[in-house]
Structure 1
Amino acid sequence: MKTILTYGTFDLLHVGHVNLLERLRALGDKLIVGVSTDEFNLLKGKQCIYGYAERAKIVGALGCVDLVIPEHNWEQKSEDIKEYNIDIFGIGADWQGKFDELQTLCEVIYLPRTPSISTTSLKKALSQIDSDAIQKIKQGLDGVLDIVKALE
């Protein structure tokens, strides 16, 4: 049994996230996803639209994800690799070289990003929209969360 591990914030889940998670899952039998906690995101300077519990629930509802765990800090990656008996640590190519030290514990791979999509670009585009339009978009995103809840 080959187990894969990845991490991310997964705010404003988009096709790039889904593509990455599906490609990682295709590499093994089990995919574990560490979702960054709100506290950890604040330390990283990230402001999320959705809180940890909602983001974890959305990621966990994807068919390619077998287990969601909280990511509390940078250092836990090596601990999680050992605890969950990880064979492959995979993450987007925008992190190329940043986690090479984990190669002593498991295989480390960096997968290419989906072109033309990123949470950063989505948030930038949203910041240029007036507040009424933002409310409508948020209501639509809340609708997605309602669909996920209905699937339970």
Structure 2
Amino acid sequence: MAKPILDLNTLIDRPLIKINGAAYELYQADELSVLDSHWFTVRGQEITKAAEDDDQQRVEDLVGEVSRRCLVDCPAEVFDTLSGSQKMAICELFTRLLLQRKMRVAGAIAQTVIANGGRKTATTPAQTQTGGTSSQGSSGSSAETRTGGSEPLRRPS
């Protein structure tokens, strides 16, 4: 029996962290919208830029904003007790979880390619670069047939 190459689940199983002994959920990568994912990417780039510029206040503000958005239902009075390094730990953990998901998808793609000997696995007729299918009677070339000159050299196979 073939093993699935991608296992998708609509049930949300959120990772938990503890703050002062109480459990709080982190958002799961699969429940982020495209815009949410983009927001996290942009904020990560902003944190990197602010750190390179040695803008400590900007880094702290961004890390606070990102770590707050990673948590599902953490009360403000609890979140506000966290230090900057604790907020950074939340950001790093969340980023690691997002990267693990991307690695699983990349691994599934790689396994499929390896299983097929590096060949593409097309289940539809060959497609052109524009997405259309090529005609069965066509060689795919519209170049004129040679009318003169010598035959090209052929290498032994």
Q: Is the shorter-chain TM-score for this pair beyond 0.5, marking a shared fold? A: no
- Please identify the structure whose Cα radius of gyration is greater: 2
Greater relative contact order, per chain length (Cα 8 Å cut-off, separation 6+): 1
TM-score interval, smaller chain: under 0.3
TM-score, length basis structure 1? 0.28
Query: What is the TM-score with the length of structure 2 in the denominator?
Result: 0.27
Q: Hey, which of these two has a bigger chunk of strand by percent?
A: 1
